[in-house]
Amino acid sequence: MQREFAYQVVYRYLEGLIEDVGQGGPPRLPSLRVLARRLRVSLATVQAAYSLLEHEGRVLSVPKSGYFAQTATRRAAPGLAGRVPVPLLERALFAQERRLARSRLPASHGLMRLRQALAERYTRSSRQCWQPEEVQVGPDVQAVLETLLAALALQGCTVLVGSPCCWRLLRWLQQAGLRVLEVPEDARGGVDVETIARVLGQEQVSMLVMPSCLGMPTGRLMARQEQQRLARLLAQQPVWLLENDLDSEHCFTTPRCSRLRDWVDPRWLLVLGSLEAAVGAEAPYGYVLSRQLAVAQAFDRRAFQLAPLRQQALAQMLGKGEIDEALTHVREELRGRMALLCQQVAACLGTQAAFSRPEGGQVLWLKLAQPVPCNLHLAEALGPTLQALPGERFSVQGHYRQYLALSWQGGQLQLLVAALQELAVLLKGGGR
């Protein structure tokens, strides 16, 4: 018991230092020996705390240089990899952790409580009923996906993906050694069920990857009729369905029973999700729901080290409805920000770009009058105000060269207008 208490002391102390970095403090953290002397604990205890923070992405270990704090701002990846900042939820998470730390409740069962909370969150009916042992949690989405694919022995197999698709997910599938085939949307922007059926009949496909309800980067909600048609097709095919539920929390409005998983055979269903989308960068955990024993065994073997107190705090927030309540405000903020972005894009780009207003998310999917110039360095040209990625990045086969994905994190309107005006000049001048 003393070892666990000592680890918690070090972990909390480092959290305070990381918070100071977010407010302008030095990013370098104390060495193992310095911290062990300062807190009068063993080197192993300090190493354990640092290792957990590394798994959470909050600390970076640089060989021969030491440990450095990774705040939410410093962790943000270039392009559109970052999530919507939700400081309200992060503050609530910290407050919940402080309450739990002051209580005498054991934090060692945090993982089981989080799995229980997620199972209850995804249970919608007697048919769609999940148990805690069917929910597997990892330090991030990539680690969860890698473990899942290895558990199902899918390396070298063929996976069919609805396109365009989240570029990170595409890269992870490729890195896992899968052969990725794409099925673009139909002429109306919907799911092309006929083409999916044809490919399933012609190719030996092991897994289909489709959004739960919100397709990204298009920001389009999948209609219930499309979900049902796809489910009827899959009922005739022994194919795993990996339902991408990473972005569903950011639907502006979501009708009841509008998830793809509501219509498919649960025996072939895999649901991939993340707490980061709901809570923010302080909860980067990914998770997968699966009824396959091999998946549970694979996660047991990996034995991911996750902070028990943080998991228990997240479980409490889910169970009490705090996350759902805060998400209501997040969605309203996203909706308003997207409406303003659409308005300014229409005013600044005019006939240079066409788009449909998204039904969720923070990405505006533009179709340009001309393909994006290959020599156009968007990040350098637009600065930090407006983030942009060329559409071909959302395809492994180089499609969507005439598309652009825009993301605006909010801020001063005049900076957004200036960035869009610069983009208009660049597109008109061919990137010169």
Give yes or no: residues 161 and 129 share one domain: yes
List, for residues 68-119, the tens digit of each pLDDT value: 887 654 443 333 333 334 445 777 888 888 888 877 666 668 889 999 999 9
Choose the final residue of a domain: 323, 355, 383: 323
Residue 257 pLDDT: 61
List, for residues 201-259, the tens digit of each pLDDT value: 999 999 999 999 999 999 999 999 999 999 999 999 889 999 999 999 899 886 666 89
Percent of the chain with pLDDT over 90: 48
Question: Which domain does 391 fall in, by range?
Answer: 333-428
Residue 344 pLDDT: 94
- What 3-state class would DSSP assign to 406? strand
Give yes or no: residues 284 and 150 share one domain: yes
Domain count, the chain: 3
Helix, strand, coil percentages, rounded to 5, for the chain: 50, 15, 35
Residue 331 pLDDT: 86
Residue 51 pLDDT: 75
Give yes or no: residues 292 and 145 share one domain: yes
Q: Are the C-beta atoms of 308 and 107 separated by less than 8 Å?
A: yes
pLDDT band at 3 (very low <50, low <70, confident <90, very high): very low
Average pLDDT, the chain: 85
List, for residues 313-352, the tens digit of each pLDDT value: 999 999 998 888 888 888 888 889 999 999 999 999 999 9
Instruction: Pick 323 or 281 by higher pLDDT.
Output: 323
CATH number of the domain within which 375 lies: 3.90.1150.10
Q: What is the pTM of this model?
A: 0.77
Give yes or no: residues 227 and 163 share one domain: yes
The DSSP secondary structure of 57-100, one letter per residue, reads TSEEEETTTEEEE--HHHHPPTTTTSPPP-HHHHHHHHHHHHHH
Give yes or no: residues 118 and 233 share one domain: yes
pLDDT band at 2 (very low <50, low <70, confident <90, very high): very low
